[in-house]
């Protein structure tokens, strides 16, 4: 199966439209502390422009990124924005996951941050409650968009037993220049890019975004 692309940290309609036109399968919107944070109102306005765009273009799945939010807040955003996936950062507990299962139809992705010492096994065990596991480099004080990669070769064996029945999403320091190698080494289902295609936080660079998507789609091509 071909590796899919998620473009995260979107704040501008033009960037979301370009990602859609290029064939990104997922668009990520951040509702947690970040330079790329959006309000739900701003996201609704942005998505309204996409809903009036070319209907022949496949609609990417919408991912909402949350940290420290409750079930009510997340559910309200899901229903207003039509979020297909809820991406959870932080130390969310089992009650939150259970509450979301009851409150929203969205799939749940759990984030595991990988530090210099490797994957936190306790965090990884918690993450298996979700429908997908997103692995990103650990940087103190940051949820993502760090521009840093972790050791793909070291961690691939740890993740291998967890692949059955869930998506594996690779994030952290991905660019057009290294994404083909990342795919070859780690074999993710989805690659997640943010800062690697930006001119500045929240503002995607069209040339970098095109190069990244083309690099991913070129993997395995004849």
pLDDT in tens, 64-101: 999 989 999 999 999 999 999 999 986 666 788 889 99
Mean pLDDT of 33-59: 86
**Residues whose CB falls within 8 Å of the CB of residue 71, separated by 6 or more in sequence, listed in order:** 96, 99, 100, 103
**Residues whose CB falls within 8 Å of the CB of residue 163, separated by 6 or more in sequence, listed in order:** none
Q: What is the pLDDT of residues 195-220, one digit of tens each?
A: 999 999 999 999 999 999 999 999 96
CA–CA gap between residue 16 and residue 22 (Å, rounded): 10
Identify the top-confidence range among 60-64, 122-126, 143-147: 60-64
Per-domain residue ranges of the chain? 4-218
pTM to 2 decimal places: 0.92
Choice between 125 and 178, residue whose per-residue pLDDT is larger: 178
- 198 exposure class (CB count in 10 Å sphere: 0-12, 13-18, 19+): buried
Mean pLDDT of 104-133: 83
Output the pLDDT for position 220: 67
Instruction: Name the maximum alpha-carbon separation found in the chain.
Output: 48
Number of alpha carbons in the 13 Å side-chain half-sphere of residue 174: 30
Tell me which residue has tokens 């209907």: 55
- Domain 4-218: CATH superfamily is Aldolase class I (3.20.20.70)
Residue 114 clears pLDDT 90, i.e. is over it = no
């Amino acid at each position: 199966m071909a590796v899919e692309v998620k473009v995260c940290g979107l704040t501008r309609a033009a960037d979301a439209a370009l990602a859609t036109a290029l064939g990104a399968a997922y668009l990520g919107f951040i509702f947690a502390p970040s330079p790329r944070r959006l309000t739900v109102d701003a996201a609704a306005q942005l998505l309204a422009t996409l809903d009036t765009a070319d209907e022949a273009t496949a609609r990417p799945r919408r991912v909402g990124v949350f940290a420290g939010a409750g079930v009510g807040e997340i559910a309200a955003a899901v229903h207003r924005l039509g979020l297909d996936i809820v991406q959870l950062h932080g130390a969310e507990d089992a009650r939150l996951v259970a509450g979301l299962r009851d409150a929203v139809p969205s799939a749940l992705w759990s984030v595991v941050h990988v530090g210099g010492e490797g994957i936190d096994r306790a965090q990884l065990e918690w993450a298996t409650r979700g429908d997908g596991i997103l692995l990103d480099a650990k940087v103190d004080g940051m949820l993502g968009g760090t521009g840093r990669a972790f050791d793909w070769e070291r961690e691939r064996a740890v993740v291998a037993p967890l692949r059955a029945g869930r998506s594996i999403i690779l994030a952290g320091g991905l660019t057009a220049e290294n994404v083909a190698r990342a795919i070859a080494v780690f074999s993710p289902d989805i690659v997640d890019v943010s800062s690697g295609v930006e001119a500045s936080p929240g503002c995607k660079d069209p040339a970098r975004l095109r190069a990244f998507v083309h690099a991913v789609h070129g993997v395995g091509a004849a």
